[in-house]
């Protein structure tokens, strides 16, 4: 596995200052208008930009995006229980000690909010520790009449998925995050993970998994029009340089990430558009991958600006199914309602 580097440290190494959008992931039906800062408000660049690290980035716990529906509940570990019931032969009611006594696993996973805008910060990468759900499902023995799993959480959040999602081998219940106890705002004492889905379908503070015989259940966000499948769309974003950044007329590296849930990123291309509207796409040859396709792919493209001026940088990813991002976003942070977004991220930089 690659060495790990925090997102904050990476951006500090790259630009001297880490500028992050740390707002909670609060989905909205329409994108909020964005007033972009004028180029003159950006400090002058250094003579050259420092090289970027090739380490795989882990998002620190205190920088990881936060989704709040009804605030962070106060959960007493000693009183907390996880119930697995409904259409099962052997219902379980487990304490935290019961969970912790089972075989421990660690898995690196990228997690993205369905409301993450194009180029947004509602995505992070961490190593999650806990137990595989398959072991518990083997104990309860789900009945053949069950078609869906419904989830309840301590903050009164609800959602549900079809059984093909919860029955995946990598589905886990996590109580650690980056080697530390799961922080309260990230789901203490236990949260659910399933490969390929947005965070909407993987509740924090989970208290119940109920197996049901119909597909009619709509959860907290689904009742407001958000997808009832919430499968991650193939997306990518440029992280360095940043929008409206001034850069020197010298060689630099374009850096970013691509992510497709549980699908392999087959290739990444970066587009460079000059002031005359001439757009040329370049295949990125250097990709840094995680231990599985459930982790974002980092990309690096060396580029030497041919002259001073304003340029638009774009990125598009192709996944293993052959899907290619094609539609260009209208704004740097265009919204994602109701299914998430696969629009092309594009930024403007000023070469001086």
Q: 10-residue block means of pLDDT along the chain (352 residues)?
A: 58 44 36 31 55 90 92 96 98 98 98 97 98 97 98 98 97 98 98 98 98 96 97 98 96 97 98 96 98 98 97 98 97 92 98 96
Residue 68: predicted pLDDT: 83
Question: Rounded to 5 degrees, what are φ and ψ at 84?
Answer: -120, 110
* Strand 148-153 with 56-58, pairing: unpaired
CA distances 26 to 32, 63, 302, 335, Å, are 12, 16, 35, 11
- How many CA atoms within 13 Å lie on the side-chain side of 160? 18
Question: How far is it, in rounded angstroms, from Cα 52 to Cα 64?
Answer: 21
Amino acid 25: pLDDT: 46
| Alpha helices, H only, the chain | 7-15, 96-100, 133-140, 163-166
Q: What is the pLDDT of residue 38?
A: 33
* CA neighbours closer than 13 Å in the CB half-sphere of residue 239: 28
Contact status, residue 213 vs residue 146, Cβ threshold 8 Å: yes
Q: Residue 52: its pLDDT value, please?
A: 81
Contact 56, 110 (CB under 8 A): no
Q: Does pTM surpass 0.75?
A: yes
């Amino acid at each position: 596995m690659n060495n790990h580097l925090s997102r904050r440290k990476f951006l500090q190494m790259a630009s001297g200052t880490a500028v992050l959008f740390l707002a909670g992931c609060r989905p909205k039906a329409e994108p909020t208008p964005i007033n972009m800062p004028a180029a003159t408000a950006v400090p002058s660049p250094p003579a050259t930009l420092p090289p970027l690290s090739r380490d795989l980035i882990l998002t620190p716990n205190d920088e990881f995006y936060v989704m709040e529906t009804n605030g962070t509940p106060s959960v007493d570990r000693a009183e907390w229980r996880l119930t697995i019931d409904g259409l099962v032969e052997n219902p379980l009611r487990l304490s935290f000690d019961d969970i912790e006594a089972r075989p421990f696993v660690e898995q690196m996973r990228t997690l993205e909010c369905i409301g993450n805008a194009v180029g947004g910060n509602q995505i992070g990468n961490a190593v999650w520790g806990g137990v595989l759900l398959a072991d518990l499902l083997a104990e309860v023995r789900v009945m053949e009449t069950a078609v869906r799993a419904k989830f309840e959480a301590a903050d009164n959040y609800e959602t549900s998925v079809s059984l093909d999602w919860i029955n995946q081998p990598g589905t886990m219940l996590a109580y650690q995050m980056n080697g530390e106890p799961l922080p309260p705002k990230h789901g203490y004492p236990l949260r659910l993970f399933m490969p390929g889905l947005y965070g909407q379908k993987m509740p924090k503070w989970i208290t119940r998994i109920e197996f049901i015989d119909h597909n009619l259940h709509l959860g907290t966000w689904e009742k407001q029009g958000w997808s009832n499948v919430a499968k991650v769309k193939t997306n990518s974003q440029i992280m360095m340089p940043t929008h409206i950044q001034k850069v020197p007329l010298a060689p630099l590296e374009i850096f970013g990430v691509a992510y497709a849930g549980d699908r392999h990123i087959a290739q990444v291309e970066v587009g460079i558009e000059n002031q005359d509207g001439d757009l040329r796409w370049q295949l990125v040859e250097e990709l840094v991958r995680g231990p599985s396709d459930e982790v974002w792919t980092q990309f690096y493209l060396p580029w030497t600006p041919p002259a001073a001026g304003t340029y638009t940088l774009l990125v598009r990813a192709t996944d293993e199914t052959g899907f290619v991002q094609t539609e260009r976003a209208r704004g740097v942070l265009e919204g994602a309602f109701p299914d998430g977004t696969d629009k092309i991220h594009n930024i403007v930089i000023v070469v001086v």
